[in-house]
Amino acid sequence: MMKAEERVKRLREKMRSHGLDGYIVYGTDPHQSEYIPAHWQQRHWLTGFHGSAGTALVTGDEAALWTDSRYYLEAEQALAGTPFRLQRADEPDTPSLPDYLAEHLPEGARVGCAAETLALREDRRLRAALEPHGISFTPGEDLVAAIWSERPPLPADAAFEVSVARTGLDRSARLTQVRQAIERHRADALLVTALDDVAWTLNLRGADIPHNPVVFAYLLLERTSARLFIDPRKLDPTLRERLREAGVDSCAYEEIDGALRSLPEHSTLMADPAGINMRLVQALPQTVKLVEEPSPVARLKAVKNSRELTELSTCLRKDGAAMVQFLHWLASTWPHEAVTERRAAARLFELRSAQPEFMGNSFEPISAYGEHGAIVHYRTSEATDRRLEAGGLYLIDSGGQYLDGTTDITRTVAIGEPDDRMRTDYTLVLQAHIALATTPFVYGTTGTQLDALTRAVLWRHYRNYGHGTGHGIGFFLNVHEGPQRMSTRWNSVRLEPGMVMSNEPGVYRSGAYGIRIENMVAVAADRENAFGSFLRLETLTLCPLDRTLIEVAMLSAHEREWVNRYHLRVYQALEPHLDTAARVWLSEQTAAL
């Protein structure tokens, strides 16, 4: 197997043969997916860095990788001993990728990338930044693929349907909803590129990306027809016929380029500039007008209907029961047996697997003890696996995919007796979590505004965290779902009843521990009065908090009441689903403060 130095050397040889002075390698696929199959993990293959966010650059004499604060520690470890230097994207002194190129390349230089991994919006941004410096940017051939001899094939698992009894709407109704959006924008067709958008529209699921139940496909939706571009091996005859009955014809995945080239002259195609890749843009005839709009499917998908919310509540009872069984096992096992990060994660997977309709993890779990907890997206491995020992904190961020929903939960627990600083930090995180969970907000509020409300609790004590406060969550789909989010990065999407999100503030002390408390929440109508329509967040997750980490004296009466009400609800909901030992343990954990 080639080492990083040899890979970079061969890439530079390809760059020279194509007249390129710089080459950018994105960590995504032709659908701009956050998580990607092995076939498209080119940035990981080139650099060794496995995080979901990051961009690599190779020039004639430099190699660098940009990632955000969630991955700094992970990236440092992955890049050690490679030609790549870490660029900390969230730090003020770090140059952006375009600024770095302008500084390191001369006027007249040429930069390229694989066109199918670059979105139109990013292409525009790079061109605008580089052209004033006389640097040309030309997306084109995939040069990493040309040197990656052992590249894994594309996945070929079969697609399957998710029933209307779970989704609340059949595919014909969803196609009608999406077509109404096309008509509002006066377009002739819509190209759906995001894999979860395709899956949602057609009530399809698959296994093409680990933990994300999606299939590799494009959907070209016109006023009276629809074409699904997918590997034909993924559709059995029955599913193919059911799609046809709903007006959806099936075509080979590779035929999407030709379909775009064959669009009628002077027609208008609607597509998300953050989703359509440059290879597809280059396939469009000059006579076809591209209407650039955010995906209308993303907005529709984000608002769960009553059937989906009902299914999700059942799902969260199952997931909560598995989490309680896990926490009870952990508390009763670590003092007597060796429990490591990997063993704990495996045990939780076993317990979830025993639940009805479990389909797998919703992401690779973050099972982190001690200083590993301060690595926000830590991945345990044989080399880093640590035993849980008295005196530290253990953070477990995990989730499940079920036929009736997707879950995401984080709990932080003390292994042995916590110290005062641990209790203080945990209680501050809990107070921030409660502030978000209990504050009503007027209709029109965005996630960015709620992010500030949550962080303010920690800011008053000069603490902060380097990730978002909350993200959207799909329904038996991707665990990270837009377009709404709660983050310091501006998001203009107003929160709507039915949106499902996470509530996950934290505190991280490098070299010591990490603390995060994450529950799933749903936006719900609250009340109307003379001041407007108010919404609230309804907590959905059912799992106790670690009482030994709560400094009760720091809590207000309102906060104590919230914890007690939440714990009572957790016990009442989960008690029927537990064995005697777990039920007794849960009763102790949920006793009133």
Same domain, 445 and 576: yes
Same domain, 494 and 580: yes
Same domain, 317 and 419: yes
Same domain, 431 and 504: yes
CATH of residue 570: 3.90.230.10
Q: Which of 579, 400, 419 is nearest to 509 (CA)?
A: 419
Same domain, 140 and 205: no
Same domain, 136 and 213: no
CA distance 41 to 35: 9
Given 118, 147, 176, the domain boundary residue is 147
Unique residue bearing structure tokens 């997206």: 377
Cα 49 from chain centre? 17
Same domain, 345 and 258: no
Same domain, 33 and 79: yes
- Which DSSP category does 325 fall into? H
Question: Measured over all CA atoms, what is the biggest interatomic distance in the chain, rounded to whole angstroms?
Answer: 73
Q: Can you say whether the dihedral through the CA atoms of 212, 214, 220, 226 is positive or negative? A: negative
> Residue 153 falls within a domain, yes or no?
no
Q: What is the pLDDT of residue 371?
A: 96
> Residue 448 falls within a domain, yes or no?
yes
Alpha helices, H only, 418-464: 420-438, 447-459
Q: Hey, what amino acid is at 22?
A: G
Q: CA gyration radius for the chain?
A: 25
Q: What is the pLDDT of residue 1?
A: 65
The three state secondary structure string of 337-374 is CCCEHHHHHHHHHHHHHCCCCEEEECCCCEEEEHHHHH
User: Does this model's pTM top 0.85?
Assistant: yes
Same domain, 352 and 453: yes
Q: What is the pLDDT of residue 362?
A: 98
CB-CB contact of 447 with 477 (8 Å) = no
CA distance 421 to 531: 42
Which contacts qualify for 235-240: CB closer than 8 Å, 24 or more apart? 235/158, 235/159, 236/158, 239/159, 239/160, 239/161
What does the pLDDT profile of the chain (593 residues) look like in tens digits? 678 899 999 999 999 999 999 999 999 999 999 999 999 999 999 999 988 889 999 999 999 999 987 788 788 888 888 999 999 988 889 999 999 999 999 999 999 999 999 999 999 999 999 999 999 999 999 999 999 989 999 988 999 999 999 999 999 999 999 999 899 999 999 999 999 999 999 999 999 999 999 999 999 999 899 999 999 999 999 999 999 999 999 999 999 999 999 999 999 999 999 999 999 999 999 999 999 999 999 999 999 999 999 999 999 999 999 999 999 999 999 999 999 999 999 999 999 999 999 999 999 999 999 999 998 888 898 989 999 999 999 999 999 999 999 999 999 999 999 999 999 999 999 999 999 999 999 999 999 999 999 999 999 999 999 999 999 999 999 999 999 999 999 999 999 999 999 999 999 999 999 999 999 999 999 999 999 999 999 999 999 999 999 999 999 999 999 999 999 999 999 999 999 999 999 999 999 99
Count the helix, strand and coil residues of the chain and give each as a percent rounded to the nearest 5.
40, 25, 35
DSSP E strand stretches across 377-512: 392-398, 400-402, 405-406, 409-415, 441-442, 470-472, 481-486, 500-503, 506-509
Q: What is the pLDDT of residue 385?
A: 96
Unique residue bearing structure tokens 């900390």: 88
> Residue 154 falls within a domain, yes or no?
no
Given 235, 269, 301, the domain boundary residue is 301
pLDDT tens-digit series, residues 496-554: 999 999 999 999 999 999 999 999 999 999 999 999 999 999 999 999 999 999 999 99
> Residue 564 falls within a domain, yes or no?
yes
Given 80, 112, 147, the domain boundary residue is 147
> Residue 9 falls within a domain, yes or no?
yes
Q: What is the pLDDT of residue 379?
A: 87
CATH of residue 289: 3.40.350.10
Q: Hey, what amino acid is at 205?
A: R
CA distance 564 to 283: 59
Range of the domain at 516: 303-589
> Residue 152 falls within a domain, yes or no?
no
> Residue 379 falls within a domain, yes or no?
yes
CA distance 208 to 216: 7
Q: ∠371-376-377 over CA atoms, to 5°?
A: 110
Q: Which of 526, 552, 350 is nearest to 437 (CA)?
A: 526
Same domain, 569 and 421: yes
Same domain, 404 and 423: yes
Structural domain count of the chain: 3
Q: What is the pLDDT of residue 277?
A: 98
588 burial level (CB within 10 Å; 0-12, 13-18, 19+): exposed
Same domain, 405 and 551: yes
> Residue 402 falls within a domain, yes or no?
yes
